[in-house]
Amino acid sequence: MEIDTKQLWRSLLENVKVSVSAPVFNTWFSQTHLVNLKKDNQRYVAEIGCNNVFVKNTIENRYFGLIQDVLSSSLELPCELLFVIKENPDQRKNGLSLTPLFEEPTVKSQEITNIARNVGLRPGFTFANFAVSSSNQMAHAAAEAVANDLSSAYNPLFVWGGVGVGKTHLMHAIGYSAIEKDQETKLYCCTGEQFTNDIVEGIRNKTTSAVRQKYRKLKALLLDDIQFIAGKEGIQEEFFHTFNALVSSGGQVILTSDRPPSEISKLEERLKSRFEAGLIVDIAPPDFELRCAITQIKAKEKGVELAMDMAQTIAGNLESARKIEGFLIKLFSEARIKNVEITPEFIESQLGKGGETNGQILKKSSPNDVISAVSKHFSLNKKSLLGASRSRPVARPRQVLMYILRIDLGLPLEEVGRIVGRDHTTVMHAVNKITHMVSSDVNIREDIRGIKNML
């Protein structure tokens, strides 16, 4: 009996959906299809199509076993998998979106774009080009829930995190989604500084009532960097009443900050209480996989296709989305000016020059100073720290050493490898490992802070 491959793949996707998170499913599995299925004696060979090389690599490396198990169970025979880069003809035929990460930007009507700009939104900040991973999955899911049902899902929604992790992007994506669904939606997006300036101008020009009307009659207020109003008694008083008026009338409030409400000094307790009554979610610094995705997204936006190995090199050396975007601008500009092809070697050379772009350079410290500080902090002698031992009490401090040499001193990968007696791929792995741990392990953060204090 001939097998219906489309039905088989739909069944597989339903099974997979139960095993992975919604963002993971939407980001990766929605971009796959079953190209071909052949029976070879007592086994099947399945050819699985992926929309691009990044999807292929991620699915093949991370979910090979899951797909193989589900297919083998459905077919009741062993199944071998072959992954290929091939566009789904059904998606093309139906005009469906191929991928939230790497598709060409959808052409929006000029009217919607103008509305978005008029209310303070950046049209490019949408859910479609927001890369999702474990570090921002919760915040992304919460933002989508709010966008789908303003004022009913989480109100207020408070998103916090460090610089360049995507807080503003998510907030703007909610607003843009609301306008796409209903162009009549009254919303406004501004920063804490803009809100403050509006209130001050209202008082100065005796137009306070007009300012209140502007903010209190909205369906949604999106306020970026709410920590800016802390310590300003009059502004906090006005925002308190604006917040109450919006929520009581069914309006949505979305706030972002660089820290949670409980840690914003000089923020009135009544405001903290209001903020904590909704949902507070944090976004951790991007992990290695997410930085790879961001690298390819930003490169694609600039009209350049970067191979996976190049994206990995960049992601392994730069720890934030903003640094990645800044480096790509520099990289592409240098390539155009010098009229050279972008190669792994060219990327490495530009990374080597980019130490000064890393935000926390310990300018007065030498590699030997860092080695001494790490040795002292972890109570290890230098011979052990730079030796061959792979035991955890030695390997972790060595990874911290490589992280500080690379991120804070801005040394090239090869130079760090030479200092610690390792190759550049080991250094890249160590930097990625510690970068990930910094976002989730308070002990690692304290270790690095202690070492920097010594320096």
Please state, in angstroms and rounded to a whole number, the distance separating the CA atoms of residues 69 and 20. 14
**CA distance linking residue 303 with residue 298, whole number of Å:** 9
**168 annotated among ligand-binding-site residues:** yes
Q: How far apart are CA 261 and CA 208, in angstroms?
A: 27
- Amino acid type, 312: Q
Cα dihedral across residues 345, 347, 350, 351: positive or negative: negative
Give CA separation, 398 vs 95, 123, 309, 318, 388, in Å: 51, 44, 25, 19, 10
Residues 285, 287: Cα–Cα separation, whole Å: 6
Q: How many CA atoms lie within 13 A of 350 on its CB side?
A: 24
167 is known to lie in a ligand binding site: yes
Half-sphere exposure of 65 (CA within 13 A, CB side): 2
231 annotated as ligand-binding = no
CA distances from 405 to 185, 302, 355, 411 (A): 50, 31, 10, 6
CA–CA distance from 272 to each of 160, 228, 339 (Å)? 14, 14, 54
Residue in the structure block whose two tokens are 């802070």: 449
Q: How many CB atoms lie within 10 A of CB 207?
A: 14
Task: For 321-360, give one letter per residue: b (16+ CB within 10 A) or e.
Answer: bebbbbbbeebeeebeeeeeebeeebbbebbeebbeebee
- Distance from C-alpha of 138 to C-alpha of 31, rounded to nearest angstrom: 22
What is the C-alpha separation between 295 and 290, in angstroms, rounded?
Answer: 8
List phi, psi (to 5°) of 45: -120, 115
Give the 3-state secondary structure of residue 43: strand
**Can you tell me the distance from the alpha carbon of 114 to that of 110, in angstroms, rounded to the nearest whole number?**
6
Paired with 80 in beta bridges are 45
The annotation status of 387 as a binding-site residue, yes or no, is no
The gap from C-alpha 238 to its chain's centroid, in whole angstroms, comes to 33
- Specify which residues 220 forms β-bridges with: 187, 252
Annotated binding residues, written as ranges, equal: 164, 166-168
Annotated binding residues for ATP, written as ranges, equal: 164, 166-168
